[in-house]
A and B are shown apart, each in its own frame.
Chain A
Amino acid sequence: MPEQPTAQPTGQPTDDERPAFTRDTTMVRLGSVEPLESLTPSWAWGGATGEGIRVAVIDSGIEADHPLLEGCVEVDDGVVVTQGADGEQIVTPGPHPDVFGHGTACAGIIHAIAPRARITSVRVLGPRLSGRGDVFLRGLQWAIEQGFHVVNMSLGSTRRDFALAFHDLCDEAYFRNTVLVTAANNVQMPSFPSLYASVLSVACNTTTDPFRYHYNPEPPTEFLARGIDVEVAWKGGGTSTATGNSYAAPHITGLVALIRSKHPDLRSFQLKTVLWSCSANVAEAPVRAGRFGTVNARASRIMRTLDTHTSPH
């Protein structure tokens, strides 16, 4: 005869009888939390430098000795991913050049925003065009395995047969708390992994302020950052003026590095909320009419603060 569960004196079911989701939630009780109205740029990244944050740039390589990078590149930790003769992916560690200049440009933008973040190159672009999707996937997988805090991918794949593999990797990164920042495709066609909810997908806005970005309420591109006529570090120790979503993504990568250096316990979804809250258009948008009428979010925060300090208890 099966053992009968022991009923509580009050008639309440035991832990064994309850569904899992109703069990005692002591272990998930939180300490203090920050209210949403506190999520200002000052709170998010004020005074931060990116100290302690490791950033991977999956791209064409990085010219580590470029003067504008000021030694921020972990030269020996970088890898080059290539496809072998049998189609296998080969990860070769060690210093390597930038074969195109694009990776150096992205690294330069990130460094300019988060000067103390350490940047590692994952080169997935090279002299061969064949197998680039597999190489890109392996490079992303390697970066996730290494536990980088942030990964910048100013490139993507339009190959739909890679869609599921990218989706799985992006989910893995999300749960490991590695933030993936990608450039949205400049053309109207699916590009992976920029379509996925688990990444930060970025396109250009028209601002010249590297810290002024916008939230896009029509995903999958969720943020718009500076990417037009950007003065960037370029291959050969020089600079170039460049335009494209490629150069918008590293602006957000830099901001994420700053935020994570100041608030290391934030998870990916919280980071996205912080970024949303600090977006220029969110701060300047009128809030729903409440105690203070219809005002923008910034004014609303100020008024709530004043109200808290002046209201009688």
Chain B
Amino acid sequence: MTSLPPPTQFHEDPVLGALCAAACTITGATSGWVIAVVDDRLQVVAARGPLGGRVRGLAVGVDGSAGFVAASGQPMAISPRPDDANVAGGVLGALGVVPASLLALPCNDGDEIVGVLELVDKSGGDRFTFDDVELATLLASVAGPALAQRADVPAAPSPDAVAVQLRALAADEPARYAQIAWTISHLLASA
């Protein structure tokens, strides 16, 4: 079993987060995540639910259910057995979890598969239905362009990261730091 990496700087795109939340609500999934295709790897870029909180920012290979969906362009809606080898890889493998039900859909930007929307554990222990497939497919079709646009926008650094950079600037270029500090305080005062 692959152990989860320590949490790194993670900035969730609000659109992808909202789509993920909507997909969970509309299908009754307990947890879900949006995965971006990055070369031959998959990376979780938005997540919801108790399992989702554990996988934000996680990068995995293509050997699991999401990998199949990304490779084939076919959705997957299964109720895996406890010993199902197919869920031993990818995000679920990293979690060490075998969900009672799983639904994974490709996210397209134009005719290119750019990600996967994966939902697990439909509430009540039920299986994901064909209606769930169709509803979640609509959301996945919106997630695709959102994923593609996300790649064009660099992630903004966190406030802590900015503070580190400013302290370094204050030590190395005090005049420059003073100028920036004056500008920021002036902007805040006029806001």
Contact = CB atoms under 8 A, between A and B. Distances in A.
A99 interface: yes
Contacts of A229: 127
B130 A157 contact: no
Interface stretch (A1-9, A109-117, A128-136, A285-293): A128-136
Identify whether the interface residues of B are mostly helix, strand, loop, or mixed: mixed
Nearest to A105: B78
B185 interface: no
Interface in B70-114: 70-81, 83-86, 105-106, 108, 111-113
B63 A243 contact: no
Nearest to B75: A186
Given A158-B108, A243-B130, A127 B63 contact: yes
Contacts of A85: none
Contacts of B85: 101, 234-236, 238
A246 interface: yes
Contact of A234 (B63, B84, B128): B84
Interface residues of B, number: 40
A59 B106 CA distance: 17
Contacts of A188: 141
A239 B127 contact: no
A132 B68 CA distance: 12
A240 B72 contact: no
B37 interface: yes
A81 interface: no
B127 A241 contact: yes
B183 interface: no
Interface in B157-179: none
Given A127-B61, A128-B62, A235-B86, A242 B78 contact: yes
B152 interface: no
A62 interface: no
Interface in B130-145: 130, 133-134, 137, 140-141
Contact of A236 (B72, B74, B86, B106): B86
Contact of A240 (B62, B81, B137): B81
A263 interface: no
Contacts of B68: 60, 100-102, 125
A127 B64 CA distance: 10
B104 to A, nearest CB: 10
A78 interface: no
Nearest to B38: A129
A99 B108 contact: no
Nearest to A128: B40
A132 B40 CA distance: 11
Interface in A114-153: 125-130, 132
B40 A241 contact: no
A244 B127 contact: no
A238 B81 CA distance: 8
B143 to A, nearest CB: 12
A281 to B, nearest CB: 19
9 contacts: A60-B72, A101-B85, A155-B72, A185-B73, A186-B133, A187-B137, A238-B85, A241-B78, A244-B74
Given A238-B81, A243-B78, 8 more contacts: A102-B72, A127-B62, A128-B40, A156-B73, A159-B111, A187-B75, A187-B140, A241-B79
Interface of A: 59-60, 99-102, 125-130, 132, 154-160, 183, 185-191, 204, 206, 228-229, 234-236, 238-246
Closest 9 CB pairs of A and B: A236-B85, A243-B77, A100-B68, A155-B72, A101-B86, A158-B111, A241-B79, A242-B78, A125-B71
